[in-house]
């Protein structure tokens, strides 16, 4: 009964996230079809990788037959963002063991992390909540809530990818070239929402000036050189801003 209550609370909280996931997952399926992947391949990728940005980034090299090491490094660098999320959630799930803990680790996403973390902080700050963390996490209720959020979002993501691929099968061949713009359009929307301060604009300019020559000199590994140079510049600018403040 306790599991059911907290799980349903997580499901209810995740409903708005489903509507955000559906168009992105649908676009993932369409883009996968445009890049030559099979239905089973993209569904399996969504189930095993479960990371929109890294999946979109892997489509181009997969479709072009790039080396496996290049694809692995690309997805690893993007998905490394899940490490601090997992480290933050770990204290809330200290009662979990075995398969439940493994499943919780696999289902981490920005949405499940944010919703669960905010839920825990809100409950801990409530005047009606017990003080001791052990009582707060009695019977692993935070993990139950997390599963309500994460498992439903996972199902929506995988199902949306599958339906997107099926929809792309009905698209006339003349539209296949247009479907290739789904991938750059996805990342362009992400960047457009984030570029607001001068610091982020500087990062984009540095990336542009570094990416073009490195792509010409080494089409296979230019992206890695660009990532290292831009990351180093960002680190230097952040240190300078910290000292200046």
Quick: pLDDT tens for 169-187: 887 766 666 666 665 665 6
Whether the Cβ atoms of residue 41 and residue 178 lie closer than 8 Å to each other: no
- Tens of pLDDT, residue by residue over 105-158, are 999 998 899 899 989 888 877 655 554 444 444 557 899 999 999 999 999 999
* Residue 111 token pair: 């949405």
- Tell me 221's DSSP state: T
C-beta neighbour count of 59 within 10 angstroms: 23
Summarize pLDDT for 48-88 with one digit per residue, the tens.
Answer: 999 988 998 899 889 888 888 888 888 888 898 899 899 99
Against a cut of 0.85, is the pTM above it?
A: no
- Quickly tell me which residue has 């929307």 as its tokens: 189
Residues comprising the chain, all counted: 245
């Amino acid at each position: 009964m306790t599991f059911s209550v907290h799980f349903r609370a997580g499901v209810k909280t995740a409903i708005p996230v489903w509507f955000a996931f559906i168009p992105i997952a649908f676009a993932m399926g369409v883009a996968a079809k445009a890049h030559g992947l099979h239905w089973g391949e993209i569904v399996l990728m969504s189930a095993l990788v479960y990371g929109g940005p890294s999946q979109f980034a892997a489509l181009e090299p997969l479709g072009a037959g790039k080396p496996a090491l290049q694809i692995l490094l690309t997805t690893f660098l993007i998905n490394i963002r899940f490490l601090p999320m997992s480290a933050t959630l770990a204290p809330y799930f200290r009662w979990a063991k075995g398969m439940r803990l493994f499943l919780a680790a696999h289902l981490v996403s920005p949405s499940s992390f944010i919703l669960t973390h905010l839920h825990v902080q809100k409950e801990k700050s409530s005047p009606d909540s017990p003080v001791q963390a052990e009582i707060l996490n009695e019977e692993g209720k935070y993990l139950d809530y997390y599963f309500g959020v994460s498992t439903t979002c996972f199902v929506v993501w995988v199902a949306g990818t599958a339906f997107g691929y099926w929809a792309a099968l009905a698209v006339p061949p003349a539209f296949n070239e247009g479907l290739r713009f789904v991938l750059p359009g996805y990342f362009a929307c992400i960047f457009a929402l984030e570029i607001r301060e001068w610091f982020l604009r500087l990062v984009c300019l540095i990336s542009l000036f570094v990416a073009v020559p490195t792509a010409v000199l080494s089409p296979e590994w230019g992206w890695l050189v660009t990532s290292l140079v831009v990351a180093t510049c960002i680190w230097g600018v952040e240190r300078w801003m910290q000292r200046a403040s």
